Amino acid sequence: MTFDEQDLRERLKAVAGHAGPPRFTVERLIGRIRRRRARIIGLVLGSVLAVAAIAVAVPISLSGQGTPPIARPAVVPFSPSFTVRVNGQSGMHPRGGRIPRFAVSPGEQLRISIGVTVPAHARVTALTPRVTALWLGVSGDVLGTPGDMRPILARTRKPLIPGLHTFRLRWTVPAGLPRGTTRYLVANWEAKQASVAQFIAELVRRR
C-alpha cells in the first residue's frame, strides 16, 4: 500500500473523529465577547479622546505666543480610578488580575465602599473631558450599559470634580447564588461624548 492523498484524507477524518464534543456554552461565549467588545470600545474612545485633546491643546499652545506663560492644566485623556472595600476588607488581587477579588456567601449582607478618584487634570471646562455621570452596580457576566446592571446600587448625574468621591453601598448576595458563580461590581461612567463600562471588583462565592 502506498501513501497517497486519499489515504491521508481518510486518516485525517479518522483522527478528527476522536475530538471530544465541544464543551462551551453560547452564554459564556457571549459574555466573553461583550467584555472584549467593551475593552475595544474603551480603547477606541481613549484614542479619540487623545486625538481630540491634542487637537485642542496644540492650537491653544500655538496661539499663546507673545503672551506671558501661564499654567494650564494638561489636556490628556483620563480615567477615574476605583478602590473597593467590602465589609471593611480590601480584597485580594489574584495573580495577573487587575481587579480585587472578594469571597462572599449566599445571603451575606455586604457593606461596599467604593472610592472614585477623578484625576486632577480632568478639570471642569467646556472642552476638557470630565465625568458627567456615574453608575455603580452589580453584573453577572455582562459589561454593557447601566441597564445591564442587576441591580444598580448608585447613580449620579452630577459632574464629579477632581478628587476622591466615596460611595457607601449595601447589597445582599442572592441566597440562591450557585456554587462557583461570580458576580462583578461594575462602574459605568460618562465623559464628554464617551461612555465607558468597566469591572472594578470580583465577588466570588465561597466554596
Partner 1 sequence: MASWQQTLAELARDQAGSLKRQAFLLCGDDGQAEDLVQDALVRAFARPLRAPRPGAAEAYVRVIMVNLFIDIARRRSRWRRVAPLLGGAEVAPDPADQVLTREVMLAALDDLSPRQRACVVLRYYQDLPVAQVAAALGVGEGTVKRYLSEAMTRLAARLSPAGNG
Burial degree of 10 (CB within 10 A; 0-12, 13-18, 19+):
exposed
The pattern of x and - marking residues 38 through 77 that bind partner 1 according to CB under 8 A reads --xx------------------------------------
Fill in the DSSP letter of residue 12: H
Q: How far, in Å, CA of 149 to CA of 138, rounded?
A: 5
Gyration radius from the chain CA atoms? 24
Shortest Cβ 97–partner 1 spacing (Å) = 19
48's grid cell = 479619540
126 binds partner 1 per the rule CB under 8 A: no
The residue type at 39: R
207 binds partner 1 per the rule CB under 8 A: no
Contact 185, 112 (CB under 8 A): yes
30 binds partner 1 per the rule CB under 8 A: yes
Q: Which span (28-36, 49-57, 88-96, 120-128) binds partner 1, by CB under 8 A?
A: 28-36
Q: Which span (25-33, 122-130, 160-168, 178-186) binds partner 1, by CB under 8 A?
A: 25-33
- Cβ proximity to partner 1: between 5 and 65 the closer is 5
161 to 200, contacts with partner 1 by CB under 8 A? none
Residues 6+ apart with CB under 8 A from 44: none
Q: Single out the residue of 102, 97, 71 nearest to residue 85, CA to CA.
A: 102
- Cβ proximity to partner 1: between 17 and 88 the closer is 17
Contact 196, 132 (CB under 8 A): no
96 binds partner 1 per the rule CB under 8 A: no
Fill in the DSSP letter of residue 67: S
Shortest Cβ 4–partner 1 spacing (Å) = 9
Residues in contact with partner 1 by CB under 8 A are: 1-3, 5, 7-9, 11-24, 26, 29-30, 32-33, 36-37, 40-41
